[in-house]
Amino acid sequence: MNGNETGLGFGNGAGERVLPELTGEEIARYSRHLLLSEVGLIGQRKLKAAKVLVVGTGGLGAPLALYLAAAGVGKIGLVDFDFVETSNLQRQIIHSTKDIDRPKVASAHDRLKGLNPDIEIVTHNVKLSSKNAETIFSKYDLVADGTDNYPTRYLINDICVFQKKPNVYASIFQFEGQATVFGAPDGPCYRCLYPSPPPAGLVPSCGEGGVMGVLPGILGSVQAAEVIKLIVGGAEPLIKRLLIFDAWRMIFNELKIEKDPNCPVCGQNPTITEPIDYEEFCGLGEKKEDAAVPISAIELKKRLEGGDDLQVIDIREPHERTLYAFPGAKVIPFGQLVRRMDEFNPEGDLVFICKIGQRSLFAIRALRRAGYQGRMLNLQDGLAAWAKLIGGPEVPY
């Protein structure tokens, strides 16, 4: 899928999709594309015929969907089950202040329709899963991955390989991002590059580790460019190439990546031929023996004020604690917990805290599997809940 090939079945040849004509208004709207010999009238008609699924309408999905709509992609599907929050607005430019508490797909739908009323926007207000992904993906020509978690990335990858659809991928963290195209017939898939996910909880999400607001705008725009190139054809897409970008140093690098003949999904003898339990694969599936006891912010406050025998363990990284240092907490970053578990008092309760209560949950599971026998509690919804329910001007979350 390079050179003049698109792999998307556009054109007027035998067995190919008949391209729709452009209206007079569309010719005026897309005139700057029509002036490009690499796009031209045929390329714009291919864009009008295309059906693209954008998974995630957050930092990456926002600029990605906006540019696809502006470019005239005829059908854009949006998958997201989240709601717009104030903290999203620093980077998720498809949403606005008036959209706070609305479903993200509803907010994105209205914004895209306002930008280009002639295209079709289909919203899928669901959490993508092994049960619905194949049905949703089957309605589109290619998929753009704007997600921020490993289970969904592996799910998207596998379904795209099964259905022979390109997967235009990007990911971001703090100041760095990467982008490529997975799923081409002669190119690698996500599993070729990342055969297995990192240990659960080791890599913080953007919600925990932070992200420079403009970074997803740059990477999402790269994704949009790759989608347009795949549809129009005749370009050199990011197949077998991983683009790496450092916004803080303003440096672009590129790595060559190859298809793994032993890949369990796209290799010569695949062993994964249908969707699996991706939560379990990524170490997020909860086992009964690993279950953590939740404690609410209100209950924790009562127990602290009552002088109960408990110890608060803050597993956040140093830069996170500069925003808010929980009073009296023992500081042990996530990666040090298992080797320092002899510092805990097994006779008393341990309460683990992080920003949103996810890493602390993984911390408890890791300690339990390492053999720690004491009672461990997880601050439910983390310091974000503490800030909301307990408050105080010194709490930034």
Active site residues: 206, 354
Alpha carbons 314 and 334: distance in angstroms, whole number: 9
Pairing state between β 142-145 and 120-124: unpaired
CA geometry: angle 361, 362, 365, nearest 5 deg: 95
Q: Is residue 198 helix, strand or coil?
A: coil
Report yes or no: 368 and 376 within 8 Å, Cβ to Cβ. yes
Q: CA-CA distance, 143 to 127, in Å (whole number)?
A: 16
Q: Which one-letter amino acid corresponds to residue 119? A: I
- The contacts of residue 392 (CB under 8 Å, 6+ apart) are none
Q: Please, are residues 160 and 217 in contact by the beta-carbon 8 Å criterion?
A: no
Strand stretches in 309-389, DSSP E: 310-314, 330-331, 349-353, 376-379
Nearest one of 150, 147, 151, 186 to 168, comparing CA atoms: 147
How far is it, in rounded angstroms, from Cα 304 to Cα 309?
9
